[in-house]
Amino acid sequence: MSIAYRIVPAGDSVLVVEFEERIDPVVNAKTIACAEAIQAAASPGVRDVVPTHRSVAVYFDPLHTDTDALVEQITHAAETSAPAAHAPQEPIRIPVCYGGDLGPDLAQVATFAKLTEAEVVQLHSSATYRVFMLGFVPGFAYLGLVDQRIAMPRHATPRVRVPLGSVGIAGVQTGIYPAETPGGWQLIGRTLVKPFDSSRENPFLMKAGDAVQFYAIDRAAYDKGAAR
Amino acid sequence: MTHLTPSGPGVVVVKPGMLTTIQDSGRWGLQSRGVPVAGPMDAVSHRLANALVRNAPTAAGLEITLLGPELEFDDERVVAITGAHFDLSLDGRTMPSNAPFIVSAGARLRFGARRLGARAYLAISGGIAVPPTLGSRATHLISAMGGIGGRALVAGDVLPLGEPTDVYGSVSMPQEAIVPLPDRHARVRVLPGPQTAYFSSDALDVLQSASYVIASNSDRMGFRLEGRPLTHARGADIISDATPLGVLQVPASGQPILLMADRQTAGGYPKIATVITADMPVAGQLGPGDTIAFAVCTMREALAALITQERALMAVEARRA
């Protein structure tokens, strides 16, 4: 698959492969495949390989790395890596209690979309999202793309405290807050599923490239789960 | 308040100091899952302290910020303190920086007035043995991870200690500090990029033309700088990408933010330049109100400086053998 790219240094210890400058599932799939190829090569001196929406940062120790060989290897990965052609993966399904005090911005999103709250929930929970990247805090996955009709921009002034498990929308992105943090996304619901738990055998629920679906549960089911 | 009750030897925190955190060489390999690296603000002084007490270079010690702690040892250990100069006393006796010394069981180590630099590093033979989180003991304050409960130390904490390799053999000669301590101002070298093209053509000149003040809301995540604003050429938003240590990211205000140890893994502001690895420890010795200036250098200079620093560290580490 041929997608334009360039390799640029970020200081003396990081090389960045940049693909086309857009948030796009095809560009992102290429980005993740490239990161996996670099990770799999496990060159000596490489400390971290970090894919984002459309670029891969390769962190290395310049005193223990043959930089020319690393550039060559990154070039090879950027040119030849292709997303795995295996069958579409089973999406991770996440139960969400939408609206009310658990989703304080749902009414506003409905007004923005000129739809009912039920229609917003229907649109949000009927799509299969792609994990484009993780960032912000441990386990926070940027999911997309949200239906344009409900793609409300984030709040101009972020909330000081967003509860753990809040499900939000920011433009065409949606996500779950894995910890109690400040945050500006439009909060439409909440889940009891934890995107990050360092005590779990696999602390991370999602990785870049995963597929995710949300489904609505009622308040009674949420409260029952919370009481457990 | 969480207390660890170690079965083995420990150090009791009598007074915690202003911001004392447990740091090892950082939580590497999980930035793709959004996990910040953390680790020391002055990685060279951290490693020197470990070398002086014959610990592995990655062992966990304390990073001490501006106002130091008072600690009581319940086991005899060798310790070394590097980085910022504090008046140090052991049961009332004055002790040196950059030199290992023995602390006997029951002794109290006290950090007094700070003379130069912002952050000191205390290594204890055997290292601090709190349970690692995701492979590291480094404290990351925002995500409350690592160290003790992911927070700065508080009075009453007990730091569990690992098994020292060789107590008395580790007492060696005092060392010259490897990181030159700045006197409230430092000039650091940068390499342009990765996103210089997002700025006006004179932005790199503006960056180098005058010092920036480190604002009071700066922290381990980043130094918010106040000075001549940098002008964007293509807006202040980019598609979020990775945010390495030492990059100067520039939000809409035009005032750069120097990303430090606790930075997030990704961010959406363009990055005009990156401080070279060899100069980040000097930057880490600055605090709020101090000033920093930037000078563009070449990749060759950046690597030469790093090699010089590495040789100095390896000379001390070699003496461990």
Give the domain ranges of chain A. Answer: 6-80, 92-227
- CA end-to-end span of chain B, whole Å? 41
Backbone angles phi, psi at A26, to 5 degrees: -70, -45
Q: Which residues contact B205 (CB under 8 A, 6 or more apart)?
A: none
**Out of A13, A52, A139, closest to residue B33 by CB:** A139
Over residues A196-227, the pLDDT tens digits come to 999 899 999 999 999 999 999 999 999 999 99
Fold of A6-80: Gyrase A; domain 2 (3.30.1360)
Q: Within 10 A of A1 (CB to CB), how many other CB atoms are there?
A: 11
A140 vs B32, B34, B239: nearest CB = B34
With beta carbons under 8 A apart, name residues in chain A contacting B266.
50, 52, 133, 135-136
Q: Which helix (H) or strand (E) holds A32?
A: helix A25-41
Q: Which of the following CATH numbers is that of domain B185-313: 3.40.470.10, 3.40.47.10, 1.25.10.10, 2.40.100.10?
A: 2.40.100.10
Distance of CA B45 to the CA centre of its chain: 8
| Side-chain-facing half-sphere of B133: CA atoms under 13 Å | 25
- ipTM of the complex, rounded to two decimals: 0.94
Q: Give, in order, the Cα–Cα distances in Å from A162 to each of A20, A165, B152.
A: 33, 9, 23
Considering only alpha carbons, which residue of chain B is nearest residue A18? Answer: B241
From chain A, the residues in CB contact with B143 under 8 A are 137-138, 179
Q: Is the pLDDT of residue A162 over 70?
A: yes
CB atoms A135 and B133 under 8 Å? no
Amino acid letter, residue B294? F
- By DSSP bridging, strand A211-216 and strand A92-98 are parallel
**Spatial distance between the Cα atoms of B60 and B214, rounded to a whole number of angstroms:** 28
| Separation in Å, CA of B49 to nearest CA in chain A | 21
C-beta atoms of B33 and A204 within 8 A: yes
Residues of A whose CB is below 8 A from B34: 134-141, 196
pLDDT at residue number B169: 55
B95 and B57 Cβ atoms separated by less than 8 Å: no
Name the more confident of B211 and A2.
B211
Q: What one-character-per-residue DSSP string does B104-137 give?
A: -TT-EEEEEEEEEEEEEEEEETT-B-PPPBTTB-
What is the fold, at CATH topology level, of the domain defined by B10-170?
Answer: Jelly Rolls (2.60.120)
| Mutation choice for A interface testing from B28, B237, B239 by most A CBs within 10 A | B239
Which residue is associated with the tokens 């101009």? A156
The model's pTM is 0.94
Q: Where in chain B is the domain with CATH 2.60.120?
A: 10-170
* CATH pick for A92-227 out of 1.10.3720.10, 2.40.50.140, 2.40.100.10, 3.40.50.970: 2.40.100.10
pLDDT at A87 over 90: no
A10 and B247: CB-CB below 8 Å? yes
Q: How far, in Å, CA of A10 to CA of A77, rounded?
A: 19
Q: Examine the pLDDT at B320 and tell me if it is beyond 70.
A: no
Local structure of B242: helix, strand or coil: strand
